[in-house]
Amino acid sequence: MSLLTSNQITLKVSSVLNKDVKQFGKQFLLDGKEDTCWNSDQGSVQWIDCLLDRECRLRSISIEFQGGFAAKQMTFEFSDSGDQLLTRCVKYGKDCNDLQTFDDLPDCRVKCLRIVFNEFYDLFGRIVIYRLKLLADE
C-alpha cells in the first residue's frame, strides 16, 4: 500500500472561503503542513473531487478537520475511469481536530473519488480540512 501524493491526485473543490485561494485553496489539502488548510465557503453541500492518475483500490481515506468545522455526515462516491459511479458509502465524522481514518471502503478499483459533505457541525455549512490522505493498492 502507498500514500498517494499531490502529483498523483488532481483536486477540485466546491468553494473556497471568500474566494481566497492563496490562503485557503485546495492545494493545502495535500501539502502535509500543519498550519495550512482548505476552508470552504458556507453552503448546504460542500465537496472535494479527487481524480487519480491511475485506477487503484483505495484502502483508507483520512481527513483532519478543524473542530467546529467538521462534517457530521459525508458520502464517498467511487467512479471508474469512464466516470461511471461504481458505488458509494456513507461515513460519519467526529467534531474534533484528530486525523480521522475511514478504512471500511468498498472493494473496487477507482479512478475518481468524490467526498460529499452532507451535514455539518458548523451551522453555516463550512468545512475546514488540514489534511487529506488517500492510501491505495496499485
What's the average model confidence in pLDDT over 113-133? Answer: 97
| Number of domains the chain is built from | 1
- What pLDDT was estimated at residue 21? 97
CATH number (domain holding residue 24): 2.60.120.260
Segments of the chain assigned E as strands: 2-3, 9-13, 38-39, 46-65, 71-79, 85-92, 99-102, 109-120, 128-137
pLDDT in tens, 101-121: 999 999 999 999 999 999 999
Whole-prediction pTM: 0.95
Q: What range does the domain containing 117 cover?
A: 2-137
